[in-house]
Amino acid sequence: MDGRSLVRLLASGSLMPRPAYIPLLGDIARTAGQVSAEDYTNDAQVQASVLAQVGEAFGADAIVAGLLGTAAVGLDVVARLKGLRPGTGLAGWVVAGDVAATRAYSEAGVDLLLVGLDDGEGIARLRTQANAARFYAVPTVLVAPALQAGPIARAAGMSGYVTEQPDPEAPEIIGVPLTGDAGPAQLRPPRQARFFWTSAGPIGAHADVDKLAALGRGLS
């Protein structure tokens, strides 16, 4: 089963042969791809090419667009990745409260939306974002490492959330962050449905590429 099929199983609640791995390829992609910050951030062709290569090297089942650069660049990246990596899932990164970007990524055909929330700002519009994405049957997952993501996501009617302490009985989609140092005990999934692995925030420029590549190989 390819990565895109795995990601699409998240919303269905069906048993998965293994959890999907959806790392947040931030500055690590740019440095691993050896391109300048300006080219990576502003040139969708460059960013898509780099994300396709680094995503494959890291064993990503889905590539997340929109972590660096404008939403317009991210949307162009999504369009280009459809041709570069047709078997890989596509996710969009939007900030909490940005309903326009939520709708645009949903219309572009992403398989998943990750909604970043750093503080309380934007909470009031999370339900609107979730409803906008739901119209296109796109699940929304809250990424709020500094907050209690589960209750916030549940109150907003979102599809899921990322947490370091997953509840196996939770009805939502759950993502659990990993680092390159994750050991066998940490790589044991708490359940076989509505679950994926991710990273603890966008992966920075100085992360250990070899460890992350080995982690991805182990998860796939």
Residue 200 maps to a domain: yes
Of all residues in the chain, the percent with pLDDT exceeding 70 is: 98
| Residue 114, domain extent | 3-214
Residue 167 pLDDT grade (very low, low, confident, very high; cuts 50, 70, 90): very high
Residue 155 maps to a domain: yes
Residue 160 maps to a domain: yes
Residue 188 maps to a domain: yes
Alpha carbons 74 and 93: distance in angstroms, whole number: 8
Residue 50 maps to a domain: yes
Decide: 25 and 203 in contact? Cβ < 8 Å.
yes
pTM: 0.94
Decide: 66 and 92 in contact? Cβ < 8 Å.
yes
Domain with 116 in it: what CATH number? 3.20.20.210
User: Structure tokens of 165?
Assistant: 């302490």
Residue 168 maps to a domain: yes
Q: 112-116 and 89-95 as β-strands: parallel, antiparallel, unpaired?
A: parallel
Residue 89 half-sphere exposure, CB side, CA atoms within 13 Å?
A: 28
Whether pLDDT at 183 is above 70? no
Neighbour tally for 145: CB within 10 Å? 14
Domains identified in the chain, total number: 1
pLDDT in tens, 2-19: 999 999 999 898 999 999
Residue 146 pLDDT grade (very low, low, confident, very high; cuts 50, 70, 90): confident
pLDDT in tens, 78-108: 999 999 889 999 999 999 999 999 999 999 9
Residue 219 maps to a domain: no
Across the chain, mean pLDDT equals 92
